[in-house]
Amino acid sequence: MTQDRSETDIGPDEERPTREERIAVARSVVYDADGELIDEDDLEGTLEAHGIDVGVSEDGLPEYRDVPRDLSLSAVHLAVDLRKDPAKFITDPIEA
**Per the domain annotation, does 75 fall within a domain?**
yes
Number of H helices, E strands in the chain: 3, 2
Domain residues for 81?
A: 16-88
For residue 28, the model assigns a pLDDT of 97
**Per the domain annotation, does 37 fall within a domain?**
yes
CA dist 93 and 95 (Å) reads: 6
Please tell me which residue, 96 or 53, carries the higher pLDDT value: 53
Say what the pTM is. Answer: 0.81
**Per the domain annotation, does 20 fall within a domain?**
yes
Q: How confident is the model at residue 59 (pLDDT cuts 50, 70, 90)?
A: very high
Mention every residue, 6+ apart, whose C-beta is less than 8 A from residue 77: 1, 2, 43
The total number of structural domains in the chain stands at 1
| ∠ CA 73-34-32, rounded to 5° | 20
**Per the domain annotation, does 96 fall within a domain?**
no
Span 84-96, average pLDDT:
86
For residue 15, the model assigns a pLDDT of 82
